[in-house]
Amino acid sequence: MINRITLLLFIGLAFWGCEEEQNTTPPVNKWWEDYKYSSYMDLGSDSLVGEIPPELGDYTNLTYLDLKSNQLTGSIPSELGNLMNLTYLDLSQNELTGSIPLEIGNLSNLENFHLYNNQLTGSIPPEIGNLTNLTRLALSENQFTGSIFEIMNLTNLGTLYLNENQFTGSIPPEIGNLTNLTSLRLDDNQLTGEIPSEIGNLTNLTSLNLNYNQLTGSMPPEISNMTNLRYLYLRSNQLSGSIPPEIGNLSNLDRLYLNINQFTGSIPSEIGNLTNLTLLYLHENQLTGSIPPEIGNLTNLTYLDLSNNQFSGIIPDEICNQGDSSPTLTGNKLCPPYPSCVEDYVGEQDTSDCP
């Protein structure tokens, strides 16, 4: 009798132990459930993993949704298109894949939309054009393809970042409709064709970055209308023609990158009007003629690179007045005698045509 009681007790303890072991399994972290009736969900940098739950589409009180800088995977659920009250949506810096769901176009109150630094693909859906209240759109550092045309009616945009994708086609002339833009990044894509003259309508721009594309044609003189511009980046394209003298109107410029193109002709003397410049990169073009003495007006320069062009003649003494004490001049046809301030920095020159 005692043995039977002992056996039953042992079985009971074993069963209880199994129950305990099963109950130690960690529950699924449904991090979204506490926000069912909230208007504000800020879980940026919160170590979230897994997929964005479709159930978020039921949280229709949300006006602010920030899930950036986590480890979220999978696609953006189409159910987010139900969040008609959203004004702010940030899913950037995750590991999201797939395309932008068409239903995002339902979010007509959205003002800030950030998807940068994911692994998103596909083209920009036409429905994005419905988001006419957007002031900031950041789709950079993904693998988006196709045209950028669908954005051209978002006239309230102040910031547009499409850089580091695989967009193709030309920059539409309709870019000139986005007159509220202060910052525009289209760099590091596969854009082709000419820079449209309508870009000169963007008179509120302070930063324009078109680096690392396949743009051709000349620099439109209408760029000179953008008198608030501080940063102009056109490097590593296939731009040709001369540098327009109208560039001298951009008196607020801090940085000018025209390097690694096919520009020809001489540096316009109007470059001397850009007295706020700190960086001037003109290297690796096909520029000719002499260095204008007006270069000496650029007393705030910290970097001046004129290398690998076809500049010729005597270097003007005024170059000693500009701010870069060690300018890069190598790979031209500049003739001695060289001003003492730069004689250690002229590098190799083709002097075969010098007197």
Burial class (CB in 10 A: 0-12, 13-18, 19+), 127: middle
Same domain for 198 and 284, yes or no, is no
Residue type, 64: Y
pTM score, whole prediction: 0.91
Same domain for 90 and 202, yes or no, is yes
Q: Give the end of a domain, one of 186, 216, 246.
A: 216
Q: Give the end of a domain, one of 201, 216, 231.
A: 216
Same domain for 120 and 147, yes or no, is yes
Same domain for 137 and 279, yes or no, is no
Distance of CA 72 to the CA centre of its chain: 22
pLDDT at 28: 56
pLDDT at 5: 46
Considering the domain boundaries, does residue 117 fall inside one? yes
Contact criterion met (CB below 8 Å) for 339 and 321: no
Same domain for 132 and 245, yes or no, is no
pLDDT at 29: 74
Considering the domain boundaries, does residue 29 fall inside one? no
Same domain for 114 and 232, yes or no, is no
Rounded CA-CA distance 132/145 in Å is: 22
Q: Could you tell me the CA-to-CA distances from 306 to 260, 267, 280, 327, 353 in Å, in that order?
A: 11, 10, 8, 8, 19
Distance of CA 41 to the CA centre of its chain: 26
Retrieve residue 351's tokens.
């002097």
Considering the domain boundaries, does residue 196 fall inside one? yes
Considering the domain boundaries, does residue 226 fall inside one? yes
Low-confidence ranges of the chain (pLDDT < 70): 1-28
Backbone φ and ψ of 297, nearest 5°: -75, -15
Considering the domain boundaries, does residue 181 fall inside one? yes
Which residues constitute the domain of residue 68? 38-216
Rounded CA-CA distance 170/153 in Å is: 16
Q: The CATH number of the domain where 250 resides is what?
A: 3.80.10.10
pLDDT at 3: 53
Strand pairing partners for 262?
240
222: helix, strand or coil:
helix
Same domain for 207 and 224, yes or no, is no
